Structure 1
Amino acid sequence: MRRRTLPAVLAVAVLLLGACAGTDDATDADETTTTATVATDETTDDAADDEPAEVTWEAVSPGGDCQCADGSEYRYWVSEGDPTRVAFFLQGGGACFTAETCAFEGGGTTYKVTVTDADDPSDGSGLLDLTDGRNPLEGWSMVYVPYCTGDVHLGDATTEYSDELTVQHKGAVNATAALDDLTDRFPDAAEVLVAGESAGSIATPYYAGLAHDRLPDAEITVLADGSGAYPDVPAVNATIGALWGTLNAVPDWPTNADVTAENWSLPGLFVRAGAHAPDITFARHDYAYDATQEFFAALAGIADGTVLSQMDANEVLIEDTGVDLLSFTSPGDDHTILSQSSVWEHEAEGVRLIDWITDLVEGDPVADVHCTECEAG
């Protein structure tokens, strides 16, 4: 058994049918489950023991106030492996904050408005492939949290953008239900990894702090992939936050006593979660010239400087408060990698990303990796 030298593993697994707030009854989980198999390294004379372990995913429909942007049913998926090691993985998928960007049809191309069978992680790649021996999460339990609300998993509001368009920004309601299920299903979780991609990575420190509240003895680690460049702009925080209802979902932590619409910021989530739970280990991965982050920053009217300079500035801002943020900055203009097969071979400055992630998850010391030739393309 290894023990950490750094506070570690944040993530959160899930699911026992945690009903969303505002309901007394939970909807039954789908009867259908999907399975995969994973080969084991153990050898034994018992033929039965030679059978590969089975990985099964269960779809859960929590009901209650949980719903997607268009009011359709929300679902998340759970795979029960080792009950002491659990990952809480937040899916990405854009954002919206105007009638044009939030439209369900036609112009609404900047986010996903519903959960479908295509979100089932059973055939996932990268860290979602729990059958791959290269995956440091092989054998873990996982709660996979789809995203369909346009609010980076932080909203709790019903917003009317026009007479024809009302959007359910219930990302915080949905993901909190999944986290509550994780707590019920895996009460003995000792290691929790809270990971996310793109919009899902933005909220990882928030859910790490909530995981700490529910599992105070667990080692919690955050791995945020693809959101390091979004800045703290008070006017934007307040304007978009009001549309999403982010202040309706602010955790009741002492460090949040001074929260206003203006200072409830995206990089500030690391600062507040770190002050609330100093033992959480925080880490991020970004591409230096991430074209998707550049697009959404411009869409929100905050495109000032390069993506690389902004993510470097955010890291300084966070660490100046005493919160350590481990980072792996890759060259190029791609966007996210955790759920892609390319994660196995990707490297920067001679360091393989999967080795860096493995050390992070296992609680071994890791150093920051930052490209020296970071050009896009």
Structure 2
Amino acid sequence: MRFKALAFLPSHLPLCLLAVAGCDGPSAKDEGPTSPPRAGILSLPSGWNTLEPGGETTCARGDPFKYLVRPGTVNRLVVEFRGGGACWSAATCAPGVELFQETVSEDPMTTGIYDHENPDNPFRDWHHVYIPYCTGDIHWGDHVATYGEGSSAVTVRHKGAVNVRAALDWVYANVPAPEKIFVTGCSAGAYGSILWSAHLREHYKDASVVQFADSGAGIITEAFFEDSFPSWKPEGAYPTWIPGFDPAELAKLFVLYEKLGAHYPEMRLSQYNTVQDDDQIFFFNAMGGGGAEAWSDAMRASIAHIEASTPSFRSFLAPGSAHCILWRPEFYSVESGGTRLVRWLDALVNGEPPQSVACDSCGPP
């Protein structure tokens, strides 16, 4: 199934299934008489915890939405959005088509940024909030849509924005003042990362915020933007407080990067892509776009446009056609132009911002 390759959940066994109200956490007998109470995210058991917020949250077919939280040991926070395809029509949303992740899966994963034993992992000690994806709307939607008619009609709950708000409400209440936030996601989660990074930056005004979109260049067709994208009704998630923000311009994703970069000049924005990303090309074709060469040319042009207009933006263009890097073991070895991604990203988050890296001589694999 195509979406299976888009992203995976980290290892989290054993799980603690929690309500939003929280978990009992360590028992009282584990704390000495002079130990301070453990509050917020630190009250959770070590390892991955699953929280089910309930309320209006939902997956596309009505299954429950859940998110995962892993407490760290430093006052820094990863907010990660899962990928998993998208749908926008009767043909793409029909059960069995499998173009998007429909439920919150619990696939174990311990590689890439989830390898907390690897000393090269820039995020090994950070708090980590992982927001799954099961609504087919790149984490932006707030609409119950019915596609088709009669017996072939299919109803999809595009409630990605509702789910994200529930997770972020918990974050705001339980991680009150992180010093640094890394907002990221692969594939559909890459678009979640750029949109919701504005909300996180606006809420945490004193935090240093770094955004990293893994394999989500935003190359779409005008026809998709005009005829299909509106079915998600993403308006409620837009950062409308940003001067000059115009939703009508979002057919070019670089506009969102430009607006955020101008409004928050100290916020670091970034993208990772491979030069012939199979999955991004697949969805570009599904939207009525051209082939691999057309997508790659448009991706490069979009990145160049952002770099020319947004001083805080950096990009890493790698060879090959693999989709997403965050969860892969190759996160620690992939390089472009002699630069290892993990070192580049560590500098982006923790040091002086590196220069963009482009694989200009790369062709199809």
- Normalising by the smaller structure, the TM-score range is 0.7 to 0.9
2:247 to 243, 259, 273: 259
Q: Is the 8 A contact 1:255 1:275 kept in 2?
A: no
**1:342-357 correspondence to structure 2 within 5 Å:** 342-357=330-345
Q: Is the 8 A contact 1:250 1:256 kept in 2?
A: no
Q: Which residue of 2 aligns with 1:71?
A: 62
AA at the equivalent of 1:226: S
Q: Which residue of 1 aligns with 2:118?
A: 132
* Counterparts of 1:243 and 1:183, CA distance in 2: 29
State the shift of 1:139 in Å: 0.6
Q: Which residue of 2 aligns with 1:292?
A: 279
**1:238-317 correspondence to structure 2 within 5 Å:** 238-255=226-243, 258-260=246-248, 263=250, 265-303=252-290, 305-317=293-305
Q: Secondary structure at the match of 2:283?
A: helix
1:161 to 140, 147, 162: 147
CA-to-partner distance for each residue in 1:175-202, whole Å, 9 max, x for gaps? Answer: 2221222221111101000011011012
- Relative distance call for 1:137 and 1:318 in structure 2 (3 A) is same
Q: Is the 8 A contact 2:217 2:253 kept in 1?
A: no
* Counterparts of 1:159 and 1:32, CA distance in 2: 39
Q: Secondary structure at the match of 2:314?
A: strand
Identity %, equivalent residues: 32
2:206 to 217, 227, 235: 217
CA-to-partner distance for each residue in 1:62-111, whole Å, 9 max, x for gaps? Answer: 1111111111100000011135200001111111111121123x22x110
**1:22-41 correspondence to structure 2 within 5 Å:** none
* Counterparts of 2:76 and 2:358, CA distance in 1: 29
Can you give the 5+ residue segments of structure 2 that lack an aligned partner in the other structure? Answer: 1-18, 27-44
Aligned pairs, how many? 325
- Relative distance call for 1:206 and 1:283 in structure 2 (3 A) is same
Q: Secondary structure at the match of 2:50?
A: strand
CA-to-partner distance for each residue in 1:207-242, whole Å, 9 max, x for gaps? Answer: 1110011101100001111012514x5443232221
* Counterparts of 1:215 and 1:186, CA distance in 2: 10
The answer to which of 75-84 and 90-99 deviates more is 75-84
Question: RMSD over aligned Cα, in angstroms?
Answer: 2.3
AA at the equivalent of 1:135: N
AA at the equivalent of 1:278: P
* Counterparts of 1:61 and 1:211, CA distance in 2: 21
Q: Does 1:318 align with 2:326?
A: no
**1:137-156 correspondence to structure 2 within 5 Å:** 137-156=123-142
- Relative distance call for 1:322 and 1:346 in structure 2 (3 A) is closer
Q: Secondary structure at the match of 1:335?
A: coil
1:96 to 81, 87, 102: 87
- Relative distance call for 1:71 and 1:31 in structure 2 (3 A) is farther
State the shift of 1:27 in Å: 5.1
- Relative distance call for 1:201 and 1:257 in structure 2 (3 A) is closer
**1:107-126 correspondence to structure 2 within 5 Å:** 107=97, 109-118=98-107, 123-126=109-112
State the shift of 1:131 in Å: 3.0
Q: Is the 8 A contact 1:68 1:149 kept in 2?
A: yes
- Relative distance call for 1:55 and 1:355 in structure 2 (3 A) is farther
The answer to which of 199-208 and 264-273 deviates more is 264-273
- Relative distance call for 1:30 and 1:59 in structure 2 (3 A) is farther
AA at the equivalent of 1:269: L
State the shift of 1:318 in Å: 2.3
State the shift of 1:117 in Å: 2.6
Can you give the 5+ residue segments of structure 1 that lack an aligned partner in the other structure? Answer: 1-25, 34-53
Q: Is the 8 A contact 1:229 1:310 kept in 2?
A: no
- Relative distance call for 1:55 and 1:357 in structure 2 (3 A) is farther
With a CA cutoff of 8 Å and minimum separation of 6, indicate the structure with the bigger relative contact order: 1
AA at the equivalent of 1:127: I
Q: Secondary structure at the match of 1:306?
A: helix
Q: Does 1:365 align with 2:353?
A: yes
State the shift of 1:274 in Å: 2.0
* Counterparts of 1:264 and 1:333, CA distance in 2: 24
Q: Is the 8 A contact 2:219 2:298 kept in 1?
A: yes
Q: Secondary structure at the match of 1:71?
A: coil
AA at the equivalent of 2:143: A
* Counterparts of 1:320 and 1:234, CA distance in 2: 23
Q: Which residue of 2 aligns with 1:80?
A: 71
* Counterparts of 1:126 and 1:64, CA distance in 2: 33
* Counterparts of 2:58 and 2:140, CA distance in 1: 14
